[in-house]
Amino acid sequence: MAELTLREALRRAMTEEMRRDDRVFLMGEEVAYYDGAYKVSQGMLKEFGPERIVDTPIAENGFSGLGIGAAMAGLRPIVEIMTWNFSLVAFDQIVNNAAKVFQMTAGSYKVPIVFRGPSGAAENLGSQHSMALESIYAHFPGLKVVSTSTPKDAYGLLKSAIRDDDPVCFMESELAYGHKGEVPDEEYLIPLGVADIKRPGRDVTLVTWNKQVNTCLDAAKVLQDKHGIDARVLDLRTIRPLDEEALYKAAAETHRMVVVQEGYPFAGVGAEIAARVQEACFDHLDAPILRVTNRDLNSPYATNLEKLVMPSVERVVDAARAVCGR
């Protein structure tokens, strides 16, 4: 096992796939000569040259469309979006073209493209730069949505995403780029659509993804140490396709569930999970499924207010205690 940061794991995945397949290339703002806004692509220009590590103007709609056209022509682009908040500029290209070309051409054109970059809040970036957009892109058939923040998962999932023949929205975490974790020395891939139990538990399941995994792990420790509640932490990793089997098994085994989601509560991923699990597993549940989400307002700039808006260990603990009748 090698200990890598998240950015190093992402770089290793992209580098290995570019060595393996000369159709793969990376494009985006500052990915080449600046070595990436977050240094994820550091050193890649030197190895692969400017034809495969391509700097773009600040024009998300334009270079996303270029990437989609390249994918339709047989290449396998990785399009780095500096933050998923900026993807809204390219929303028409991603949703109306990348997601729909395969169906609209009766399978004549595939769109094997990965859109990747950080999603969710960092620190003090204000309301226009702090959105978690998993629920937005997971809403549309034709797109796959991955959201992860651990080096091992990011490595295995990104390699699978690059090899996938469908467009994949790959969401990372700016705050996690420097976090370290063990990654196998040998190549390995994680299939899209498979959740992972980050902590076993029998009393309640905390369902989450991306950097809220750490919030849930911290909450699980508090629940165990202070309240005698044994919490399972289920990391979805992929929002679409959704690992319904893992969710239903967790509901059947722990009988209680809390979904912890960075993002707005209305029409969020947590609401979809609650609906599906309660429809399929109603008789297994001993309490209604609760959600812990961002407060239903735009993210403030101030640090103290931003923390009040986001999910917290305290809010997760309170929700878990509530479903456990404590």
Burial (CB < 10 A; 0-12, 13-18, 19+), residue 222, is middle
* Residue of 129, 134, 255, 284 with catalytic role: 129
Q: How far apart are CA 239 and CA 312, in angstroms?
A: 21
Active site residue 60: yes
Closest CA to 129 of 118, 114, 116: 118
* Residue of 29, 60, 134, 172 with catalytic role: 60
Phi, psi of 292 (to 5 degrees): -120, 115
N-term to C-term CA, the chain: 41
3-class SS string, 141-204 = CCCEEEECCCHHHHHHHHHHHHHCCCCEEEEECHHHCCCEEEECCCCCCCCCCCCEEEECCCCE
Phi, psi of 213 (to 5 degrees): -60, -45
Active site residue 129: yes
* Residue with token string 């996303």: 64
Tokens matching residue 8: 């190093």
- Residues with catalytic roles: 60, 129
